[in-house]
Structure 1
Amino acid sequence: MLGRTAASLFWMSRYHERAQNVTRLLEVAYRGAIMSHNGQEHGTHLTFALTNSGLESDYRQKYEELNIRNVSMFMIFAKDNPLSVRNSLELARNNARAVRTSITAELWEAMNTTWIEFTEVNPQSVTQEKLPDFLAWINQRAHLFRGALLNTVLRNDGYFFSQMGNFVERADNTARILNTQYWSLLPDNDIIDDGSTERYQWSAILRALSGRRSYRFAYPHARLKAFNIAEFLILRQEMPRSLAHCFDWIADTAEDLAQYYGSREPSLDLAIEIHRELSGKQMRDIYQEGLHDFLTIFIGKNNQFAQQLSEDYNFA
């Protein structure tokens, strides 16, 4: 496979995953902003979304007022925001169009229809009352993309590169949210009262990573605890957005790619190494190392893997 084809498939999935991640953060912000929670200020929830998406500084430069309208327009539609849903969907679709003959009709239709319908929406029509339904639509289209990818694409090198892009982006998103909120996940916070700010932060983190209900299944007899939440989102492989789950997929896909090409590149061995390190960790070891330091190092290694992959396979 040509390097530019591999790159397009990798970034197609990565940008689509990014669009959904930003949407989920905005959903959490909207939910919190319209519900009174222990006297927290309206802006607390909106700041949560902007901070965790790395957009707070850019937002402050553009807007003076912090409100749902401005935040939603900036995170969804702003052309000058490189992480907006609009830009992510457009870049995902452009990468798919570049390799149109390398993907299935179902996958292309899922992406192309999403982009066409998105561009037909007048941003001014997405009022505060209509925002939840619009965010739900974006999420549904993201699930349709994943379903088409998993159910129609041949398990060949194109599929492998697509999966790499998806899980690199997902791992990055989970790690960055945890790192931004790491202070609320320190074990000392487990002695706090049920009505605390930290407890809201825990719930928001789980919702942003689609883990609120599955956490209850994983820890059926335990209340929300910082230790359990950190363990759930870092080390529990059955959680689809945990770091361990992402690199379990990446490591398996790396092995598949090595077998497909009959050679092992440095990026593939790096994926195995990161997966092995996560598999050998206990949450207490991570706390002893320092949660913030661990997450910062992980983000660097995840980026290193993506960069090495692009060098090994000549991404244009």
Structure 2
Amino acid sequence: MLCRTASDLLWMARHIERVDNCARMIDYAHRVALLPDRLEKGRALTESWGAALGALGFEEDYARRYGRLDEHSVLQYLIFDADNPGSIYACLHGARESGRAQRGAISAEMYEDINSSWLRVRDFDWDQLNAEGLPQFLDWMKRRAAAFRGITLGTLVRDEAYTFLSLGTFLERADYTLRLLDLYFGETRQRPSQEAHSAVEYYRLSALLQAISAFETYRKIYRDTITPARVAEMLVLRPDMPRSLASCTAAIHRSVEGLGRGQAPELVRQCGALASELRYGRMDSLLGQGTSPFLKSVMSRLYAISDGINRQFMMSTDIVAA
């Protein structure tokens, strides 16, 4: 497979997953911003929208371009801003352009789906957003991302193109899960506590679970009150949770191992080592030095894996070694 094709497919999947994740982050911030001021002591706005921007890595760019922190400006930046490479608008455009360039490598249904989503968002504006409502728009975006993944699963042959799409999806999903964990656990805790200490904390945990479509799953697994420790365990270690780090890193390892075919032993080793630690690890040992060092370590290793994938499969002058 040509390097350009591999790169386009990987980034098409990453952009679609990023659209989904951005919608979910907005959903979380919007829910937390609705907390009564008497509970949040007037800090609901900055502690939700500001924290979301920081978790996505956009805090400095937003401050430079928009200055004041308010809901309207943050939504403009995260949904409609064509100059923000992480906005829903920009990511859908990037995914559509990658799909258009590689129409021979994907199914017709995949391109039609992504193109129709892009055309809808391209013509979307504030009047429509206000008329439909933010929650309804976010739900629509999450469904569109899910539809694309479903069409891919149901129409694309299991070849290298499918593997690069899967790899892009799980790289981006693992990155988002780390950012979400860091948003809630990273800076303020040495380790997740065994219980929520206030009504605000309980509501934040509930909003986090609802934003990643895991509220019902949590109730099904634990059948008990929502606690920070169990939420962290579910998003880090459970292999049956589709957005957990354990699940994502296992999928990354399988994809890289299949693509490498013995020609990328160090990259496969890095992927396998991270996947194994999360598959067989325990929260108390993983968080031995605190939550933030653990999350930063995993993020650093994930970035190293992403760089290795780029060097191994995207930078050859002729073909990828797969």
Contact 2:29 2:49 in 1 (8 A): yes
Aligned residues between the structures: 312
- Compared with structure 1, are the counterparts of its residues 177 and 80 closer, same or farther at alpha carbon in structure 2 (3 Å cutoff)? same
2:20 corresponds in structure 1 to 20
CA RMSD, Structure 1 to Structure 2 (Å): 2.2
SS across alignment from 1:313: helix
- Compared with structure 1, are the counterparts of its residues 74 and 281 closer, same or farther at alpha carbon in structure 2 (3 Å cutoff)? same
Single out whichever of 211-220 and 50-59 deviates more from structure 2.
50-59
2:113 corresponds in structure 1 to 110
Q: 2:252 aligns with which of 250, 253, 277?
A: 250
SS across alignment from 2:242: coil
Contact 2:22 2:78 in 1 (8 A): yes
Q: Deviations over 1:53-75 (max 9, x none)?
A: 22233223333443322221111
SS across alignment from 1:39: helix
Q: 2:64 aligns with which of 34, 57, 61?
A: 61
The gaps in structure 2 that reach 5 residues or longer are 317-322
- Compared with structure 1, are the counterparts of its residues 29 and 265 closer, same or farther at alpha carbon in structure 2 (3 Å cutoff)? same
The gaps in structure 1 that reach 5 residues or longer are none
Contact 1:17 1:166 in 2 (8 A): yes
- For residues 113 and 121 of structure 2, the distance between their equivalents in structure 1, rounded to whole angstroms, comes to 12
Q: Deviations over 1:176-200 (max 9, x none)?
A: 22123224565464355342x4333
Deviation of residue 289 (structure 1)?
A: 3.3
Contact 2:52 2:183 in 1 (8 A): no
Single out whichever of 48-57 and 148-157 deviates more from structure 2.
48-57
**Paired letter, 1:249:** A
TM-score (norm 2): 0.89
TM-score (norm 1): 0.90
- For residues 264 and 62 of structure 1, the distance between their equivalents in structure 2, rounded to whole angstroms, comes to 42
- For residues 306 and 179 of structure 2, the distance between their equivalents in structure 1, rounded to whole angstroms, comes to 16
Contact 1:13 1:163 in 2 (8 A): yes
SS across alignment from 1:190: coil
Q: Percent identity?
A: 32
- Compared with structure 1, are the counterparts of its residues 255 and 38 closer, same or farther at alpha carbon in structure 2 (3 Å cutoff)? farther
Deviation of residue 202 (structure 1)?
A: 2.3
Contact 2:6 2:313 in 1 (8 A): yes
Contact 1:50 1:56 in 2 (8 A): yes
The answer on 1:135 being equivalent to 2:145 is no
- For residues 75 and 198 of structure 1, the distance between their equivalents in structure 2, rounded to whole angstroms, comes to 25
Single out whichever of 281-290 and 123-132 deviates more from structure 2.
123-132
2:320 corresponds in structure 1 to none
Deviation of residue 48 (structure 1)?
A: 3.4
Contact 2:13 2:168 in 1 (8 A): yes
Contact 1:13 1:92 in 2 (8 A): yes
SS across alignment from 2:287: helix
Contact 2:77 2:84 in 1 (8 A): yes
1:270 corresponds in structure 2 to 270
Single out whichever of 245-254 and 105-114 deviates more from structure 2.
245-254
| Structural mapping, 1:60-99, within 5 Å | 60-99=63-102
Deviation of residue 162 (structure 1)?
A: 0.8
1:46 corresponds in structure 2 to 49
